[in-house]
Amino acid sequence: MESGLRNLHFVLIPWLGMSHTIPMIDIGRLLAERGVTVTVVMTRDGAAPLSPTIAQIASSGLPIRFATLPLPSVEVGLPEGCETGDSLPSMDLMPNLYRGSKFLRQPLEELLREQTIAPSCIICGARYPWTPEVARELGIPCFIFQGFGSFALLCMHNLYCYRPHERASSPTEPFVVPGLPFHFEIARQQLPLQFQLLPRFTEICNEVREGELAMDGVLVNSVDELEPGYAERLAAASGKKVYTIGPVSLCYKSGRLDMANRGKKLSVDASRCLDWLDSMKPRSVIYVSFGSFSSFAPAQLMELGYGLLASNRPFIWVINGLERFPGAVNQWLQEKLEKEGDSKCLLIRGWAPQVMILSHPAVGGFLTHCGWNSTLESASAGVPMATWPLFSEQFLNEKLILDVLGIGVAVGVKTSMQQMRQSPEEGARISREEVAKAVERLMDGGQEGEERRRRAKEFGEKARKAMMEGGSSYENVTRLIELVATKAKE
């Protein structure tokens, strides 16, 4: 197979958002490292913030290329240059982004036709239900990468099949998630959008689901050892091939600073960040981040800040979207945290080198919103978590972290934020005392804390092994390449 590998051409088209594009670029890297040709397709404004990552990969000599397609943002009612979910000023514009994404079909078809190495398969992101049709016209398979873990995908598949959420009398009434090996109750409003029964999203959600059902297989950024049995259950329940090929962030092997180029341009000097971490005791630092686009109302942000200060431990706090906040909040952060908190706090306004930070031995815990990438990156670095889910499938990930894996403590969030950003007027739902208590439990040196750390460390080791030759994820990539090679010969 070896010599023919360059002629296998994987075309990757991530869904429009950082949390989808970053792991898909990692997937591209993993495939290219195995010798196949890879093209990653993005929109122009979606690709722009990722220029450091793209430049680094372009100079690596790997057979991976990047292509951009035009998205008519203004024509579909989006602000100029707004081509990703994370850059939307409001979630209400999600249908516009989805409409705009349909205009990518024709230029994608043209791009695929003009390739010198004919495409052998498409790997598409979460919301392109038309890609299986495009692939079929070319006689090649189409795989989906939704960005969620196997446990969440299984829960969602079972909800689609048995629809218990439709029988709940209100968004807050708990019901049982069917088809799991344990009893798990959740309420509608703690689930992703497609289960919230919101009329304005029904048509989109139905289209997206139809697309999912038409795919030839599912790629999951996960590792069997972390979600034992769930990928198999998903494959059995959905009748689709499921390939767990992660943690894809572990594709960065060549040193800690190399990892700093993953994602957007950094808002902190990576070496300064490492120096700061190097000056801290092992496992003493809490890393606090809520993903690539979520943000709190000023009242909640400040309450969180007071809670972190009250914990009296060193922390790195990543805050995005601060430009939307009144100047007084920035001033408060500067005075309360950077001056008074002094050397105890490293505040990062914007984008942090998350994977690099999590892999540093000084980090002992991660206060996270349980986005799947963050969850997996933390577990694969052997770092236990304090869970503060906000929306989407994050409550499902929280369940996995707390009750299946036993590597986290709950901050105690009951209700979803509904929107990706809290409205500026909203108050604090989680008090400083609750924050401090969760951090205290997370970082605690007692038996319970030690046991959590031991388990997390064990997952980290298993994850690394899974990505090495002979490991489960490595072999799943092999199987995927072999399947595509066989189809290409047919």
Find out whether the peptide bond into 132 is cis, omega within 30 degrees of 0.
no
For residue 351, state whether it binds ligand UPG (rule: CB under 6 A): yes
Sign of the CA dihedral running 293, 294, 297, 298: negative
For residue 318, state whether it binds ligand UPG (rule: CB under 6 A): yes
Site string for ligand UPG, 20-49 (x = CB under 6 A): x-x---------------------------
User: Which CB sits closer to ligand UPG, 311 or 394?
Assistant: 394
User: Which CB sits closer to ligand UPG, 12 or 355?
Assistant: 355
For residue 287, state whether it binds ligand UPG (rule: CB under 6 A): no
Report the candidate in 271, 286, 294 with the shortest Cα–Cα distance to residue 345.
286
Stretch that binds ligand UPG, among 2-10, 164-172, 176-184, 389-397 (CB under 6 A): 389-397
Q: How far apart are CA 84 and CA 44, in angstroms?
A: 10
Distances (CA, A) of 46 to 20, 81, 154, 378: 11, 9, 29, 26
User: Minimal distance in Å, beta carbon 1 to ligand UPG?
Assistant: 31
Q: How far apart are CA 332 and CA 456, in angstroms?
A: 35
For residue 476, state whether it binds ligand UPG (rule: CB under 6 A): no
For residue 294, state whether it binds ligand UPG (rule: CB under 6 A): yes
Angle between the 447-467 and 472-489 helix axes, to the nearest 10 degrees?
30
For residue 386, state whether it binds ligand UPG (rule: CB under 6 A): no
Distances (CA, A) of 387 to 19, 112, 369: 18, 42, 6
User: Minimal distance in Å, beta carbon 370 to ligand UPG?
Assistant: 7
Residue 130, classed as helix, strand or coil, is coil
Which of 98, 175, 315, 372 binds ligand UPG (CB under 6 A)? It is 372
CB atoms closer than 10 angstroms to residue 158: 19
User: Which CB sits closer to ligand UPG, 111 or 123?
Assistant: 123
- Spell out a b/e string for 268-300, using b for 16 or more CB atoms within 10 Å of the CB, else e: bebeebbebbeebeebbbbbbbbbbbbbbbbbb
Q: How far does CA 331 lie from the centroid of its chain?
A: 31
Give, as ranges, the residues between 248 and 277 that touch ligand UPG (CB under 6 A).
263
For residue 394, state whether it binds ligand UPG (rule: CB under 6 A): yes
User: Minimal distance in Å, beta carbon 37 to ligand UPG?
Assistant: 25
For residue 147, state whether it binds ligand UPG (rule: CB under 6 A): yes
Stretch that binds ligand UPG, among 40-48, 272-280, 371-379, 400-408 (CB under 6 A): 371-379
Interface with ligand UPG (CB under 6 A): 18-20, 22, 147-148, 263, 289, 291-294, 318, 351-352, 354-355, 371-374, 377, 392-394
